[in-house]
Structure 1
């Protein structure tokens, strides 16, 4: 294995920064978490894994090799991206006054629907595409890479976003439960009320 732990650590850090930058995956994950909780969100996170396997492999194996085997590959990929983004843009414009959860394919119930949404979002995510195709080769010497290296890189590419997405889904699910629980809301209101009274008393005596 030619890839070092230091290189993998740097790459993991870059992936973490990529995850922390809001994008289409965040929008889809938040939408499903708000509409159906963690149960609705985790299949989407698994769907995203497919893209996190595909894009590093494409970057490592090289777009040049793919284009030599399939002459029109890049042209087809470019026009597919154009269609996807035009449709997504038009959908957002035509539903600009609707809430995130209304009439949205992202929040369609069911595990399979969530998984498909995850695959669609990651394959059409320009942030992920640019990162893997443009940045990944800068972390590793792709010309000297071995099969164990590829396995390690793909594993890291899966693990960091997956745990991040699942963590985000759990956080949103807990917040959603908190805000929809009468007991929790009562405690929040009581605590806030006590603090407000306290602030008022402090103002009165100072």
Structure 2
């Protein structure tokens, strides 16, 4: 695929991904409350969701996705419910034993976290708008070959790794600055509220 087209796509995706939305809110809230534990798997699910939406756009299934949206509706509400569950866990997390209290009492399955991130992305209105409405104006999708799709997918993973990684690092640094039980309790409530807001955004758009 032409390098200039890949650069244009990368730049557009970077801007779109960096703008806070339900997915970013979910990642930041999770890292604030839990640290890096499980963050990679959750981010991987989000990136896979982006590549799936990219595939729909390239395959010309945008109209199909908009018209027969039952599956996407299910994913949308599944993602919202997952975020709501995480919000409740964060809100009720204990904070009487320092940072360790925020660590997961029970190790979460990487597969479950990946599927959670995937569900969030598949139901994220911001991602839908980018791939189904904006992307066709950025790249001539009808000219994209299988190799071109593979190249776009690699660019997608690279760009999201930079954007999501930056948000994770910033959230982790903010988390470490607040080490007292009282601060952690407030942090839990803030993270839970942000996650609940992300759940509402996914469910209502």
TM-score (norm 1): 0.67
Name the CA distance, whole Å, in 2 between partners of 1:83 and 1:99.
Answer: 16
Work out whether 1:74 is the aligned partner of 2:68. Answer: yes
**TM-score (norm: length of structure 2):** 0.68
* Partner Cα distance (1:13, 1:88) in 2: 30
- Unpaired stretches in structure 1, ≥5 consecutive residues: 93-97, 182-206
Gaps spanning 5+ residues in structure 2: where?
Answer: 94-103, 181-205
TM-fit CA distance, 1:82:
6.9
Q: What is the CA-CA distance between 1:26 and the residue it aligns to? A: 1.2
2:155 matched residue in structure 1: 156
Q: Which residue of 2 aligns with 1:23?
A: 21
Conserved 8 A contact 2:32-2:174: no
**RMSD between aligned alpha carbons?**
3.4
Query: In structure 1, what is the equivalent of residue 138 of structure 2?
Result: 139
Query: Hey, which bits of structure 1, 4+ residues long, moved more than 4 A?
Result: 81-89
Structure with higher Rg: it is 1
Q: Does the alignment pair 1:126 with 2:125?
A: yes
1:44 equivalent in structure 2: 42
CA distance in structure 2 between the partners assigned to 1:78 and 1:47 by the alignment: 16
Distance 1:132 1:26 in 2: 17
